[in-house]
Structure 1
Amino acid sequence: MKFIADNTSIPIPKVYCSFVHGDRAFILMKRIHGEEIPTAWKNLQESGRRKVYGQLRATLQELRSLQPPPGTGIESCTGGSLYDSRIKQCRGTRFGPFKTVQDFHFWLREGLQASELRERETEDGSEWRDLEKMAAMQDAGSWPPPVFTHADLNPFNILVRGDEVVGVLDWEFAGWTGWQEALEQFLDPFPEKLEMERTRQKWWGEV
Structure 2
Amino acid sequence: MERIRGESLAAALHKLSSKELENVFAQLRQIVKELRALKPPSNAIQNCAGGTWRDSRIPRSNPRFGPFISSQEFHCWLREGLRPEEHPDRQDDEDWQEIKKMVSSQDRDWGPPVFTHGDLNPFNILVRDDKIVGIIDWEFAGWYPCYWKYTSAWLGNKTRKAWQDVLPKFLEPWSEELDMEPTRQK
Q: TM-score, normalised by structure 2?
A: 0.83
Is 1:186 the equivalent of 2:170? yes
| Larger Cα-atom Rg | 1
Is 1:197 the equivalent of 2:170? no
After TM superposition, give the deviation of residue 103 of structure 1 in Å.
0.5
More strand by share: 1
1:198/1:48 Cα in 2 relative to 1: closer, same or farther (>3 Å)?
Answer: farther
Count the aligned residue pairs: 169
Is 1:87 the equivalent of 2:58? yes
Q: Is the 8 A contact 1:72 1:79 kept in 2?
A: no
Equivalent in the alignment of 1:78 = 49
Task: Decide which of 63, 76, 79 is 2:35's aligned counterpart.
Answer: 63
After TM superposition, give the deviation of residue 85 of structure 1 in Å.
3.4
Counterparts of residues 15-164 of structure 1 (less than 5 Å): 29-69=1-41, 71-91=42-62, 93-115=63-85, 119-120=89-90, 125-140=93-108, 142-164=109-131
- Please state whether the residue corresponding to 1:56 is helix, strand or coil: helix
After TM superposition, give the deviation of residue 162 of structure 1 in Å.
0.7
Partners of 1:57 and 1:197 in 2: how far apart? Answer: 24
> What amino acid is the match of 1:157?
N
Partners of 1:37 and 1:116 in 2: how far apart? Answer: 47
Q: Is the 8 A contact 1:61 1:187 kept in 2?
A: no
Partners of 1:187 and 1:60 in 2: how far apart? Answer: 7
CA-based RMSD: 1.9
Partners of 1:74 and 1:188 in 2: how far apart? Answer: 20
> What amino acid is the match of 1:192?
E
> What amino acid is the match of 2:58?
I
- Please state whether the residue corresponding to 1:193 is helix, strand or coil: helix
Query: Percent identical across equivalent pairs?
Result: 50
Q: Is the 8 A contact 1:36 1:159 kept in 2?
A: yes
Structure 2 stretches lacking a partner, 5+ long:
154-166
Q: Is the 8 A contact 1:76 1:175 kept in 2?
A: yes
Kindly provide the CA deviation profile for residues 61-97 of structure 1, in whole angstroms up to 9, marking residues without a partner as x: 111110112x340112222111223311122x11111
> What amino acid is the match of 1:68?
P
